[in-house]
Structure 1
Amino acid sequence: MGSAYAYDTKAGKRWEARYRKPDGKTARKGGFLRKRDAEAYITTVESAKLQGAYIAPGESQITVAELGAEWLTMHRVAVKPSTFHSDESAWRIHVQPAWGERKIGTIRHSEVAAWVAKLGLEKSPTTVKRCYGVLAAILDGAVRDRRLQSNPARDVKTPRKKLKARGYLTHVQVERLAEASTYPDFVRFLAYTGLRWGEAIGLEARHIDVRRRRLNIEVNAVIVNGHIELGTPKPHERRSVVYPAFLDAALERAMSGKRAKELVWPADAGGYLRPGNAVSGWFAGASKRARAADAVASEAARARGEAVRNEMPRVTPHDLRHTAASLAISAGANVKAVQRMLGHASAAMTLDTYADLFEDDLDGVAAALDAQRSEALQQ
């Protein structure tokens, strides 16, 4: 137990609380006007020590910038390069300028909430969530290191992401997009396997079992800040994906004469295949040409008084992954099969992502219940 001691100052008598920290070292805190105030402080310290909640006064004086630098160093080796790049940008552009000079012990929950709200008026929900997540993670570390009793950034509401309409393509639309493309076989491959771009371009000849029609997903070649970063998929994304028989000829062409470690889908100029600029790249160009051809065909159909076919939606490379899920579900694949194909962590994640594609299943359930009830009552 600590003790209170009096001392004189120019402003008069003051009291100092002396106590031992959990590590046994002596600590002091002065400036109390009354002895009982110093003793009350000592009681608070002793209670915190017993509960394991003691925080040394000086620990909360460290700044967010100091902790942020430490956090980035550890974070770099804990996440994928693409994730680190996004988090580092959020820290450098938004978090550090706003909070870097602040001592962590002075941050209040209401301040963080106000910052998130202001950021939400200027940036997308995705950016806001990432920036908030970086600040909250840094302060989580401070709590674990016993610099703070609790994290003032937790339990702050962030803007909801708006669900974007996905570009699900039909079989015919996939074919039209492929035919308008510089890499037609690769477009078909993405649309019928559901691989992410990085997983597809990272495939080497040794990863493909043509006899069993299996793709062994072991490499993820991600474009980070303009450069290709090679990594491995997450544990639940390491998987074997089946491809349909009509892709046999495409894969035979792609793998012809290649050694085990050569890329299956390289760029024409060599190296890893990229989608190109989102406006003028080869994939964007294929999408524009297919849409333009649809527009011409629709205009001609209207002139003849005929029905207009479904026009090609605007699509990105990632929409081919959504298309693969859509085509698989429409072909009768169950949610577990789609989960394994896409490498989702759980079937629940697949259902959350593609709930709209299982609407027909709900109709089927209702019809089955109706039929079973009628049969049971008749018996």
Structure 2
Amino acid sequence: MAGYADHVRRYLSPLLGHLLLAEVAVAHVEEMFQVITREHQAAGRRLSAATLDRIRATLRAALNAALRAGLVEENPASLVALPPTRRPRAVVWTAARVQHWRKTGERPAVAVWTAAQTAQFLDAIVPYRLYAVYHVIALRGLRGEAAGLRWCDLDLEEGTAVICRQLQRRDGRLTVGPPKTAHSTHVIALDRTTIAALRAHRSRQQAEAAAHGEGYRDSGYVFTNLNGDPVALGRLTHVFQKLIAEHDVPPIRLHDLRHGAATMALAAGVQLKVVQEMLGHSSIVLTADTYTSVLPEVAHPAAEQTATHLLRAAGMVPGTTRRRGRALARRQHPTWGHTRTGLVRRRATSRRPALAGPRPRARPPGRLRSDAAVSAA
């Protein structure tokens, strides 16, 4: 809701507010986007296709309401052509990519750490007073809701947390609002390490309150400043970037910790539906399409399985450049032989046992014994 209000205040009212509702046409909307683009370019500010698309979505929602009320005959915002939006896919900071970044400074738009890099970072920042917030985001995939957590939302005995609010800075002050979507209000499970981190954080917070004295404000929030006021998400983002620079790990955004949480969960074998619930997504398609980068340890078995399937089809021995021999195929076919009872199937073997001795010659069926053999009998 705050994003919609911001679009109305910054773009829609100044550029379309002089028109009557029924006068708004496609040409007016196209001109509005041209003005927005020119203003950003003149100020040297980046304007993505996704931002333009979100502004159009705000206008389109308002005009759809007018359309349902019979105030307009069409929705011009739906007819405006904008540049296609391409959601950047998260890539993993592999060793080769880290080496390239250190050499050239080039970094992906969206990147996630490996499990080892995440563990290295968390281990390095344990002494920091707000360590627990980064631990929670990295393991449970929270976003702005992390700043909105209150102690009454946590049940450390049962290991659960209710995600029901977020803090955002508007007009220079913190405001409380609901999570991003209706489905974002959900309950998440807390693992033992996260519970331990939160218990240690609560003890530290109580010690800070006692040291601060009467001026301490008990806001009830989990993550606070030294005076007890809730800490803003922007502050957490700023500190996160400083910690990254101090501990010499590949750069990522704070929100990328959320991407990494989903990726590591999938690498650990967690089902996609469970990851969807952990992130608070309304659709499993959104989870699969947006937050699931493939870690090397997940991709390697898939690559090996594909190669093995192809090599078997080509008659190759997996893991080598040797072709399968034909002896195996010959051994799998039965042979035929003569016995006293006639023609029978014999099981084929590659070689006779060493102690079997010479095989007796089979007498053709119907052949009579010699006279000497008859008299001997």
- Of 180, 185, 194, 2:141 maps to 194
Name 2:188's counterpart in structure 1.
241
| Residues 195, 342 of structure 1: 8 Å contact kept | yes
SS of the aligned residue for 1:251 comes to helix
| Residues 205, 262 of structure 1: 8 Å contact kept | yes
Structure number with greater Rg is 2
What are the equivalent positions in structure 2 for 1:24-103 lying under 5 Å apart? 83-84=1-2, 86-103=3-20
What are the equivalent positions in structure 2 for 1:61-210 lying under 5 Å apart? 83-84=1-2, 86-117=3-34, 119-120=36-37, 122=40, 123-164=47-88, 165-178=109-122, 179-180=124-125, 181-197=128-144, 199-210=145-156
Shift of 1:347: 0.6
Name 1:326's counterpart in structure 2.
263
Shift of 1:270: 1.5
Q: Distance in 2 between matches of 1:338 and 1:186?
A: 20
**TM-score normalised according to structure 1 size:** 0.60
Shift of 1:173: 2.6
Q: Distance in 2 between matches of 1:355 and 1:202?
A: 25
SS of the aligned residue for 1:221 comes to strand
Name 1:313's counterpart in structure 2.
250
| Residues 275, 283 of structure 1: 8 Å contact kept | no
**Closer, same or farther: CA 363–96 of 1 in aligned 2, 3 Å:** farther
Name 1:367's counterpart in structure 2.
305
Name 2:280's counterpart in structure 1.
343
**Closer, same or farther: CA 261–285 of 1 in aligned 2, 3 Å:** closer
Shift of 1:358: 8.1
Shift of 1:151: 1.8
Q: Distance in 2 between matches of 1:368 and 1:207?
A: 46
**Closer, same or farther: CA 158–273 of 1 in aligned 2, 3 Å:** same
Q: Distance in 2 between matches of 1:176 and 1:366?
A: 29
Which amino acid letter does the alignment assign opposite residue 356 of structure 1? Answer: S
What are the equivalent positions in structure 2 for 1:240-279 lying under 5 Å apart? 240-256=187-203, 262-276=220-234
**Unaligned segments of structure 1, at least 5 residues:** 1-82, 292-311
SS of the aligned residue for 1:146 comes to coil
Shift of 1:218: 2.7
**Closer, same or farther: CA 323–97 of 1 in aligned 2, 3 Å:** same
Shift of 1:176: 4.0
Shift of 1:120: 4.4
SS of the aligned residue for 1:344 comes to coil
Amino-acid identity (%): 24
Name 2:161's counterpart in structure 1.
215
**Unaligned segments of structure 2, at least 5 residues:** 41-46, 89-108, 207-217, 314-328, 330-377
Superimposed CA distance per residue, residues 330-365 of structure 1 (whole angstroms, 9 cap, x where no aligned partner) = 111121111011101111110121253389479749
Name 2:350's counterpart in structure 1.
none
| Residues 272, 284 of structure 2: 8 Å contact kept | yes
Q: Distance in 1 between matches of 2:244 and 2:284?
A: 31
SS of the aligned residue for 2:293 comes to helix
Which amino acid letter does the alignment assign opposite residue 136 of structure 2? Answer: F
**Closer, same or farther: CA 323–131 of 1 in aligned 2, 3 Å:** same
Q: Distance in 2 between matches of 1:282 and 1:352?
A: 30
Which amino acid letter does the alignment assign opposite residue 227 of structure 2? Answer: A
Q: Distance in 2 between matches of 1:130 and 1:328?
A: 30
| Residues 275, 282 of structure 1: 8 Å contact kept | no
SS of the aligned residue for 1:356 comes to coil
Q: Distance in 1 between matches of 2:18 and 2:233?
A: 41
**TM-score normalised according to structure 2 size:** 0.61
Give RMSD over aligned pairs. 3.6
2:242 maps to 1:285: yes
SS of the aligned residue for 2:294 comes to helix
Shift of 1:209: 2.5
Q: Distance in 2 between matches of 1:99 and 1:214?
A: 47
Q: Distance in 2 between matches of 1:158 and 1:111?
A: 14
